[in-house]
Amino acid sequence: MGKTSKDKRDIYYRKAKEQGYRARSAFKLIQLDETFHLLDGTSANMPCAAYHAIQIQGDITAQSTADAIIGHFHGGKAHLVVSDGAPDVLGLHDLDEYLQAQLVLAALNISLHILEEGGTFVAKLFRGKEVSRLYAHLGRYFRHVVCAKPKASRNSSFESFVVCQGLHFSHGPPTSMALNLFDLPYEHDHARLAGSTPVLFKSCGDVDGWDADQSYPIDDNNTYAHQEPLQKPINPPYALAKKSKTK
């Protein structure tokens, strides 16, 4: 929700401020829920790297973090895990895709310890040429894996979300996060990872709704008042440049 010219033109940025959301990404989650009904029947949900919605802070690769989450649910497990984390984009697509995939796998690893059987895992991913291997990993643990593109996600971005439903442990649940859960025990699993793994693609949101890549004029008939973002960046990269200009 920074003050760049692109953000000012983005309709979802403006709508988020008007409706009191902390970030435009709220519309992505709303559109995903409208399509997949993620929150139906859930009462224990765990967001990973959700903007300003973190109740437990910790290293998602550490067993202690998984234990703290389960303790938060009084020994129970989550019905839904949503991972909206992403690394700083470098502009090198292959490297960005790899780093994001590693983040998804780390989120998957902890999810296998805190998510109940039959639960749902949702994660942001970058759709590159090697994303099929990531689908194959996820398909080992979930009965349904779908790639979804919310309307609020810019078409110019290769960002998408993978929605995994129906957690199951065909080889038994992992006993420790320290174990390499991708040491596959069966030959047919290796074959799946080596080949292509097609998944269903779904577009979420009203096809006639707001377009994240389009600029919309401000309605002159309405009275607009400037509103600051509900949560400004903590340590933005432009802070030093801004400080030097004010001297």
Backbone angles phi, psi at 26, to 5 degrees: -60, -35
Helix (H, G, I), strand (E, B) or coil at 35: helix
CB atoms within 10 A of CB 207: 7
> Is 124 considered catalytic here?
yes
Q: Which of 124, 129, 151, 247 is catalytic?
A: 124
Helix (H, G, I), strand (E, B) or coil at 13: helix
The count of residues in the chain is 247
Half-sphere exposure of 222 (CA within 13 A, CB side): 7
Kindly report the CA angle at 26 between 138 and 91, in degrees rounded to 5? 65
Asked whether the beta carbons of 36 and 161 are under 8 A apart, the reply is no
User: Where in the sequence numbering do the catalytic residues fall?
Assistant: 124
